[in-house]
Amino acid sequence: MSEEKVGSVAYVRKEIVKDLPPPPSTTGVIGWLRTNLFSSFGNIILTAIALYIVYSLASLVYEFAFANAIWEGTEGKDCRVPDAGACWPYIANRFNFFIYGFYPSEEYWRPNLVFAIGAVLLVALATPKIPGKMISGILFLFVFPVVTFFLLYGAGFTGLAEVPTEKWGGLMLTLVVATTGIVASFPLGVLLALGRRSNMPLVRSVCVVFIELWRGVPLITVLFMASVMLPLFLPAGTNFDKLVRALVGVTLFTAAYTAEVVRGGLQAIPKGQYEAADALGLNYVKATSLIILPQALKMVIPGIVNNSIGLFKDTTLVSIVGLFDLLGAVKAGTTTSTWSAPTVPVTGFFFAAIVFWIFTFTMSRYSQYMEKRLDTGHKN
């Protein structure tokens, strides 16, 4: 541009315009509704249909669980009325059985204490503001399982009455299986994932075979094998606890899935991260534990939680080997003659569904919270 041209420019902005707020129609409730629900004719119809479906479902649940529900009674007969909804007295009557199974009622304080310790440790671990993560982590991962075992099982030096694992049941058993499965499978899964990416052919092959073997078999088969076939292979006389066998099966099964999820995370780490770690002189163990795993695990939180939720629900399969988890307890209750009424099974399963949902939904929300918290603004 020449000098004269610059001089002949008719309009030059003297001051920079300040940022203006966005027009009101794009923000706030109205703006949100407009862009998300009523942006076009088709969209309006979809919104209407969706609202109708939500309304119908909600009113169905409401009628069943509240409006038509039976709140008082002592046996099935009380719930055998026309158009009855949920039979809540059944849940109240059987509540202890659902939570503790056949655990002797005078010993309920023991599982209660375990629940309490577990809850305190979990809160200490899960709340970022509470310090001492190392200590609570060690307590939860190593001390808590031992304490749990001696409290629940008793016998030996504890001076507590022995309660064999056949008597454990209900939600208590579900939590024992799920927590053990989730917690114990995690380190194993990480090791398997690292092993599968190892440079050493032998390590790699062992891990591949292990992972593919366990992933290729349904959990129900694993449990069945663990409880029925394993004793056949073991020398006569070795008596492995039924619960322990199920726990081992569940743990190994979950570890295989965890391994594949973690491997996905490991593969997503750019080569440059390994090179930077190498160039700084970090050895394999340090580079892996300080640089690679923290990033890879953060990436796979959704996958891990998804696995854990799946496992939590799959614990119901332990009933196939004669263990009474929450669902098993609910099911067993519905067949007793005192509580024979058409709505009793539905009520039981409704209750079990709610309990399962509360646990899994909590896991899911917490993982979303963690993902946000761990986000350091780095997007590859």
Rule CB under 8 A: which residues touch another protein? 270, 272-273, 275-276, 278-283, 286, 290-291, 294-295, 298, 374, 376-379
Contacts with 193 (C-beta within 8 Å, 6 or more apart), sequence order: 207, 258, 259, 260, 262, 263, 266
* Rounded alpha-carbon distances, angstroms, from residue 77 to 46, 87, 223: 45, 10, 38
> Are residues 72 and 78 in contact, defined by beta-carbon separation less than 8 angstroms?
yes
Residue with smaller CB distance to another protein, 99 or 291: 291
Long-range own/partner contacts, residues 357-360 (CB < 8 A, 24 or more apart): 359/312, 360/309, 360/312, 360/313
Residue with smaller CB distance to another protein, 222 or 291: 291
Residue owning tokens 């009933």: 319
Neighbours of 189 (CB within 10 A): 25
Q: At 93, is the secondary structure helix, strand, or coil?
A: helix
Measured from the CB of residue 41, what is the shortest distance to another protein in angstroms? 42
Measured from the CB of residue 380, what is the shortest distance to another protein in angstroms? 8
Residue with smaller CB distance to another protein, 23 or 131: 131
Q: Measured at the alpha carbon of residue 213, what is the angle toward residues 211 and 217, in degrees to the nearest 5? A: 115
Measured from the CB of residue 128, what is the shortest distance to another protein in angstroms? 15
DSSP classification of residue 77: G
Measured from the CB of residue 299, what is the shortest distance to another protein in angstroms? 10
Measured from the CB of residue 379, what is the shortest distance to another protein in angstroms? 7
Residue with smaller CB distance to another protein, 234 or 374: 374
Measured from the CB of residue 260, what is the shortest distance to another protein in angstroms? 22
Residue with smaller CB distance to another protein, 150 or 284: 284
* Rounded alpha-carbon distances, angstroms, from residue 42 to 19, 45, 48, 49: 35, 5, 10, 11
Residue with smaller CB distance to another protein, 24 or 377: 377
